Amino acid sequence: MNKIVKIILATMVMISMSSVTLSADVAKGQKLYLKKLKSACSMNGAKMATQHSQAEWKAIGNDAGLAAELKKICPSVKDKALKGKYLPHYYDFFFEYANDSGNVPSC
């Protein structure tokens, strides 16, 4: 009985920690933008994020809609910079520094 409880608790801890690491990150989105999109978009991160308000970024979403919007804003962006694993981080970065957020990134 004691061994089963320990296994269940260990599993719960692992699940809770994995959900934290799987979530998107604003700082990672900023780094990815600088590395993958800045030269293709010809604008810094602050200007890019302020293309839309937070409500507009939320409506665009962080999947195919975001990839399509990035292609529209930056036509010369390469498809490999729009991989699905990058999009949630881009989204968090753009949402955090949208034109109505009052936040300004340092890039």
Give the tens place of pLDDT for each residue, 21-80. 456 788 999 999 999 999 999 999 889 999 999 999 999 988 889 999 999 999 999 999
Structure tokens at 58: 């939320």
Q: Report the predicted TM-score, pTM, of the whole model to 2 decimal places.
A: 0.75
Q: Are 45 and 30 in contact (CB under 8 A)?
A: yes
SS3 call for 76: coil
Taken in order 65, 70, 75, 81, is the CA torsion positive or negative?
Answer: negative
